[in-house]
Amino acid sequence: MFTTNDASLNKDQLKVGLGQLAPVWLDREATTDKVVAMINQAGAEKVDLVAFGEALIPGYPFWVSMTDGARFNAQDQKELHSHYTDQAVQIEAGHLDKVCAAAKANNCAVYVGIIERALNRGGHSLYCTMVYIDKQGEIGSVHRKLMPTYEERLTWAPGDGHGLRVHQLGAFNTGGLNCWENWMPLSRAALYGMGEDLHVAIWPGCHRNTHDLTKFIAKEGRSFSMAVSGLMRKSDFPDNTPHLAAILDGAGEEQMLANGGSCLAGPDGEWLIEPQCDIEGLFTAVIDHGRVREERQNFDVAGHYSRPDVTKLTVDRRRQALIKIID
């Protein structure tokens, strides 16, 4: 476990935690319990913010690429989607209440990746969603991934801009994006323009995704850049998973399907926590806002180095829905 001494934190400092976990795959309750246990661990270590990987509750849709998921109207894909929907998170039903309670009890803010079963979109389409919960246990933002990547589009719906927000946490403004959204320059620019100086990127778990981009975002934004990933091993597929034999056969001989790679870079692009692979754990570090101010002296992407008279970004944060009811 990587950790740092936090005995003398000042007003500019924040202790952050990278919660690298494997889900109990497609089991919402059991995976939620793992997340809560790590929030409790973070609280015991006086962590101010802990983040978890993309789609962690209840898990990433690995079956799509392993079972020829593009076959239209295929019965196995329908059954897997039904199971996924049943285990997805419906915030309005209280499925995140345990996580919110743990955040409040431990005085620890949380970013967590979920599969959201959104009531305002009918309750049966699924969204890859990043939820921010503050230290009081209140949900501050629910960001639905703007564009699912490649085969993800066979099971996730595209989101909207409602959750493109930053949240003040001590001296920092924190914001975040899901997986390949972090490659989208205008999505990053939206958060920079809102004052982000601690960026949280969440991933299903792959070192090749986090190793280069984490440092790049740190240098581009002159911000602290966290990448937090999940893990997935063959042993994490429960025995009661629908069509498990076909999924495991499609996985081949590889035992580690998602190897983590959680890491943290400073605003100069140097590692504070190098990518952590193949292990579950809580990896922590103390970050100092003074370093942001130092690096912004020569480059501030949304401040003195921007030219809004020449180029300007418009962000629509309205929550999109099929109907607008007027009673």
| Catalytic (active-site) positions | 54, 145, 179
| Structure tokens that stand for 2 in this block | 């990587």
Length of the chain: 327
- CA-based nearest residue to 106, from 94, 118, 98: 98
